[in-house]
Amino acid sequence: MTEHNIKNELKVGLFGIGLDQYWPQFSGLEDRLKGYVQQTADRLEKTGVQVINLGLIDTPEKALVAGHEFRMADVDLIFLLVTTYALSSTVLPVVRRAKVPVILLNLSPAASIDYEWFNHLGDRTRMTGEWLAYCQACSVPEIANVFNRCQIPFFQVTGTLEDDPTAWEKSANGWPQRKSRTRWSTTAWVSWVTITAACSISTPT
Domain ranges of the chain: 3-196
Tell me the percentage of the chain whose pLDDT exceeds 90.
Answer: 47
Side-chain-facing half-sphere of 200: CA atoms under 13 Å: 4
Res 20: pLDDT = 95
Res 24: pLDDT = 96
10-29 b/e (C-beta count within 10 Å ≥ 16 → b)? bbbbbbbbbeeebbeebeeb
Q: What pTM value is reported for the model? A: 0.80
Q: How many whole angstroms separate alpha carbon 184 and alpha carbon 167?
A: 21
Res 167: pLDDT = 59
Res 28: pLDDT = 95
48-79 b/e (C-beta count within 10 Å ≥ 16 → b)? bbebbbbebbbbeebbbebbebbeeeebbbbb
Res 159: pLDDT = 85
Q: Give Cβ neighbours of residue 188 (< 8 Å, ≥ 6 apart).
A: 176, 178
Contact 54, 69 (CB under 8 A): yes
Q: Give Cβ neighbours of residue 34 (< 8 Å, ≥ 6 apart).
A: 16, 55, 56
DSSP, res 114: -
| Fold for the domain defined by 3-196 | Rossmann fold (3.40.50)
pLDDT in tens, 84-111: 999 889 999 999 988 888 999 999 998 8
Helix, strand or coil, per DSSP, at residue 16: strand
Res 181: pLDDT = 43
Q: Phi and psi for 153 in degrees, rounded to 5?
A: -70, 135
The angle that helices 29-45 and 124-133 make with each other, rounded to 10 degrees, is 20
CA distances from 94 to 40, 145, 198 (A): 18, 16, 25
Give the residue ranges of the chain where pLDDT is below 50. Answer: 1-7, 170-184, 186-205
Res 117: pLDDT = 87
pLDDT in tens, 120-130: 888 899 999 99
